Amino acid sequence: MNPIRVTIWNEFRHEQEKEHIRAIYPQGIHQAIADGIAEYGFDIKTATLDEPEHGLTEAVLAETDVLTWWGHMAHGEVDDAIVDRVQKRIIEGMGLIVLHSGHFSKIFKRMMGTTCNLKWREADEKERIWVVEPGHPIAEGMGEYFEIPKAEMYGERFDIPAPDTLVFVSWFQGGEVFRSGCCYHRGQGKIFYFRPGHESYPIYYQAEVLRVISNAIKWCAPVANPVVKFGNVPQFMD
Amino acid sequence: MNPIRVTIWNEFRHEQEKEHIRAIYPQGIHQAIADGIAEYGFDIKTATLDEPEHGLTEAVLAETDVLTWWGHMAHGEVDDAIVDRVQKRIIEGMGLIVLHSGHFSKIFKRMMGTTCNLKWREADEKERIWVVEPGHPIAEGMGEYFEIPKAEMYGERFDIPAPDTLVFVSWFQGGEVFRSGCCYHRGQGKIFYFRPGHESYPIYYQAEVLRVISNAIKWCAPVANPVVKFGNVPQFMD
Amino acid sequence: MNPIRVTIWNEFRHEQEKEHIRAIYPQGIHQAIADGIAEYGFDIKTATLDEPEHGLTEAVLAETDVLTWWGHMAHGEVDDAIVDRVQKRIIEGMGLIVLHSGHFSKIFKRMMGTTCNLKWREADEKERIWVVEPGHPIAEGMGEYFEIPKAEMYGERFDIPAPDTLVFVSWFQGGEVFRSGCCYHRGQGKIFYFRPGHESYPIYYQAEVLRVISNAIKWCAPVANPVVKFGNVPQFMD
Amino acid sequence: MNPIRVTIWNEFRHEQEKEHIRAIYPQGIHQAIADGIAEYGFDIKTATLDEPEHGLTEAVLAETDVLTWWGHMAHGEVDDAIVDRVQKRIIEGMGLIVLHSGHFSKIFKRMMGTTCNLKWREADEKERIWVVEPGHPIAEGMGEYFEIPKAEMYGERFDIPAPDTLVFVSWFQGGEVFRSGCCYHRGQGKIFYFRPGHESYPIYYQAEVLRVISNAIKWCAPVANPVVKFGNVPQFMD
């Protein structure tokens, strides 16, 4: 079996514009994730907002099995034509993993049909991420829970469609809960939203977070099925 | 309790442009539905594509609890700004019932995030609509199944997100099945997709179909809850 | 429309055996709930473990639309034949609301198929119950969250099937989360599990808790449908 | 990675008692399935009703990752203690695949909590099995649909909990539909119900059916997670 082809997409602005963010992710969040999941044997590429076509050309997407998405301050700069293109590929079977502030990306809102809004607070709070569906492959190896020592809080109401499968629920010190690991089938593709991660914390170096991303890549990988035929069909003859 | 305020929206083109369709729905599909569900005690208005703002002004939507949607040949003429407006109202709590060829409407595709594509065939086939969740309020009074004597066929794969609750599954003479009654929560609103109905068949005069639409209106009606607050929140004080 | 016929079932042992519990619920938890939801216009009866047939005779169940269940120390004393009888009625359409420690009742475990086990701790912790599906009728009037000032903690992993709809998620001071409001269709009946409540806290006097129970009774009420026919069926003739 | 350890369980009565069934499955349905999926690289054992402990000793189950279940005429002879044991293993993570008339097995009814009743008819009807979730790994390689040339009909209403994921829906010549491929998480285990198969048809020699069973074995395989701890827990210390 060929390795799963992963494209790690990053907005890559905070890291270039702010010294204290660059100190955490000197080569960008995308590179930290790419390095962090290297051991799992995927075929990994990266792409960023400021590349031509945001690095997501037709050719790149055609060779991508799973796309991961991190964005925050520049969601509005993502070209609608590229969003259309990514949506089309998901419908055809490509997996999408949306990370943290990617909840507000155009592509996630497009796929969900809702505002994807939430509550948030930056107060260095502890997050405890509970596994509520321990038999799900994305929970593999995670035990009963894992912790992020300091995190930005995301709280309910999270305005998303109820996930097909809810894998993780976060507890925050300050009094909130959050649906942190959400699985969706959309078209022939699969989507996983995973909450942890913020540009100002070294969360994408944490082993548990990288393990979940790797598990999710495997779960999101396309199934070998022909593209479904739609439209006018004749009656079956027997 | 005040009656549920229903706005029945219709594209209203086939009926005006084609004699043989007008023969079936002389005052339009919207009026047939309005008359057909009159006995259920709703507060009913209608709106159509060619009215200013498609009849869906801010004022109309603000006073609509449940919107039903029928369209077919002119989906592309629906103004994107009106689609935005309807989406916003659904997120706030308004119910939406999408009928038959409304599967391809901008608003349904917007809310689903997928192509909403399907197979179809016009061959006067019998449709038998099976109740698969008999305890659901939308199935009330429907028995085990009901039939449409002659229908346009819609067949799987139907490219929608798996419904939160699947109430009906259709059988077609020619060899297809279809998820015909699909419930969704989106934002604070609720959406029901209901398959039966085509401009060339008198399906919206059939008692079972009208009963399902009425049941769905009750199920879709908004819940009295304040609009959720999003954004930056302080920590709780105790 | 006739009022919904509710039978409030209570184990009714703690209140009789322990002075400090009786001080909180002098006439039993069942009576506190019955009084607390009186304003909502249901037709209410109560039944308890030590009555003949636990108060759940064929006649009582035949006239019950929704049964609420509270038990804790004596789950094992519930007669299996009565559990069979209650299960049969749920399959036929009766609603079931399982409260707090009822998670370990024979009837809930029977309907879920799993152990229904969980984590727990008695430490007078604050519970904050978040509404994650604000458009659901059981959430009506609850705002964004409500609090139980002092509660027994219940924590994930809660070994239940993923609910058809997850309405509430609890946050606990000590670091846990819990799926606190869980909706299920089973047979033609509907089941709602609601976490709050413990014999040593006056939780069943709290307005929000009583409101949720009332909302759930309405949601759980049977749908007027004939009992489904099963077994060998002839082919359709046309 | 070690191969998935599969135990194929069969009632194995029809084949021994009836000449015309033995003609189809000379060494039993279990052996036909075992041979049929041999190419997929699993570590396969078989077990049957009349072996001591039905071939499902503690030792056998401890070394089983996925159990497949076929039974029909002798469901009542399965020892309740063995049903308890299998349920316990599923809760711990073992996969269960229930085939055809296994819908009425004690273990399936136990895990579902419902009657698992359905409509049926033996009339050599064609069954067309439609893929409604083409991105699901159990649908891999199945195209848009596949057919069983002659099958016993199973029809809705099928009294099961709505599946976590519905993968297949069957169409039958005589006018019925059926949810034919149903995925469930229960405890840490996963369950797949798959409709096709009857002792009087050579359905378990059909490549598509064997492919689905193989896909389902992979999907059902346990996730490497420690058994969840339940019960009284201390507060977290930080």
Q: Encode pLDDT of A90-111 as tens digits.
A: 999 999 999 999 999 999 999 9
User: Number of C-alpha atoms within 13 angstroms, CB side, residue D97?
Assistant: 32
Quickly list H helices, A64-134: 80-92, 106-112
Q: What is the mean pLDDT of the segment spanning C40-68?
A: 98
Are C229 and D119 a contacting pair at CB < 8 A?
Answer: yes
Give how far B156 is from chain A: nearest CA, Å: 9
Angle at B152 between CA B148 and CA B155, to 5 degrees: 100
Closest-CA residue of chain A to B184: A161
Cβ-based interface (< 8 Å): residues of D facing A: 93, 126, 128, 131, 133-137, 139-144, 164-165, 185, 187-190, 222-226, 228-229, 236, 238
- The average confidence (pLDDT) of chain C is 96
Instruction: Say which residue, D220 or A228, is predicted with more confidence.
Output: D220
Q: What is the mean pLDDT of the segment spanning C195-201?
A: 94
| Segment D45-90, tens digit of pLDDT | 999 999 999 999 999 999 999 999 999 999 999 999 999 999 999 9
Instruction: Place D228 in a pLDDT band, splitting at 50, 70 and 90.
Output: confident
pLDDT score for A31: 98
Structure tokens given for A188? 């022939």
Query: Which positions in chain D touch B175 (Cβ < 8 Å)?
Result: 128, 171
| Segment B209-237, tens digit of pLDDT | 999 999 999 999 999 877 788 999 887 65
Give how far C36 is from chain D: nearest CA, Å: 31
| Segment A116-169, tens digit of pLDDT | 999 999 999 999 999 999 999 999 999 999 999 999 999 999 999 999 999 999
Instruction: Place A237 in a pLDDT band, splitting at 50, 70 and 90.
Output: low
Res D16 pLDDT > 70: yes
Could you tell me which of B70, B170, B83, B165 has the C-alpha nearest to residue B119?
B170
**Taking chain D, what is the end-to-end CA distance rounded to the nearest angstrom?**
38
Quickly list H helices, B18-57: 19-24, 29-36
Give how far B97 is from chain A: nearest CA, Å: 16
Res C119 pLDDT > 90: yes
Using DSSP's 3-state secondary structure scheme, residue C76 falls into helix
pTM of the model: 0.97
Q: Which of D98, D154, D230, D236 to mutate to test the interface with C (most CBs of C within 10 A)?
A: D230
Structure tokens given for B47? 């709106």
pLDDT score for C228: 82
pLDDT score for D235: 75
Res B196 pLDDT > 60: yes
Closest-CA residue of chain B to D126: B175
Which of the other chains make 3 or more beta carbon contacts under 8 angstroms with chain D? A, B, C
Res D238 pLDDT > 80: no
Q: DSSP code of A193?
A: E
pLDDT score for C233: 87
Q: How many residues does chain D have?
A: 238
pLDDT score for D237: 53
Instruction: Place A3 in a pLDDT band, splitting at 50, 70 and 90.
Output: very high
pLDDT score for A226: 73
Give Cβ neighbours of residue C68 (< 8 Å, ≥ 6 apart).
C6, C7, C8, C9, C33, C96, C97, C98, C99, C213, C217
pLDDT score for A236: 67
Rounded percentage of chain A residues whose pLDDT exceeds 70: 98
pLDDT score for B237: 53
Range of lowest pLDDT (B224-228, C144-148, D11-15, D228-232): B224-228
